[in-house]
Amino acid sequence: MWNKEILMDFKLTYIFILILGLFACSTNKESNWEKDGKEVTIYIQNAMPHCGGMAPDPEIDYPIMDPYIGCTLSVHLANDDGARGEKVGEILTNHEGKAKISLKKGMYQLWKPSKFDSFSEFMDKESPVKSSNYAYRDEACFQEWYDRPDFELEVTAKPEFSFSYQNRCFTGAHPCMIYSGPYPP
């Protein structure tokens, strides 16, 4: 019936087609996430320094990294000129300071929602403290803060990103606020 050579050729052809098919499927997976996006995990933390008072515990490394719970950030494509690009989504961090979003390969920026208000509304929202212990830098400081994204990331094969707001004593992560009051003993 079947000649041994014909069966051998048939087996080799079958194995070749099978290997080619598996290779095509594995290559397709890589290009799909670039086209369709992939789930990315973003961690946002608050870096809290020691701000006086009792001597710091030598067993605690400062700054203390706390999860930023309930942090809302707008996710935008990054433009080559650094300007705000097209909005692709929004994240809200959970109790671990973690949020997930599906993103395609590329450069992205994370922005506080208040940076999409008018500049004067932004200044009003970000300078609420009226006290003799606090002052604010000039309008140029607010303008620079307003124009700069909070964080930037490049999505490649890496699925996790970690960022932190660097807090200062008594003013938090506010770059334009100055504390001039008394310090703890």
At position 2, the amino acid (one-letter code) is: W
Domain span including residue 51 = 38-179
Count of the separate structural domains present in the chain = 1
pLDDT of residue 156: 87
Domain assignment present for residue 25? The answer is no
pTM: 0.76
pLDDT mean for each 10 residues of the chain (185 residues) = 56 56 48 70 94 84 92 92 85 96 93 93 86 91 94 90 94 91 83
Domain assignment present for residue 21? The answer is no
CATH of the domain at 67: 2.60.40.1120
Domain assignment present for residue 4? The answer is no
Decide if 159 contacts 41 (C-beta within 8 A).
yes
Domain assignment present for residue 11? The answer is no
Pairing, β 72-78 against β 98-103: unpaired
Domain assignment present for residue 122? The answer is yes
Q: What is the pLDDT of residues 88-104, one digit of tens each?
A: 999 999 999 999 999 99
- d(CA 152, CA 82) in angstroms, rounded, equals 10
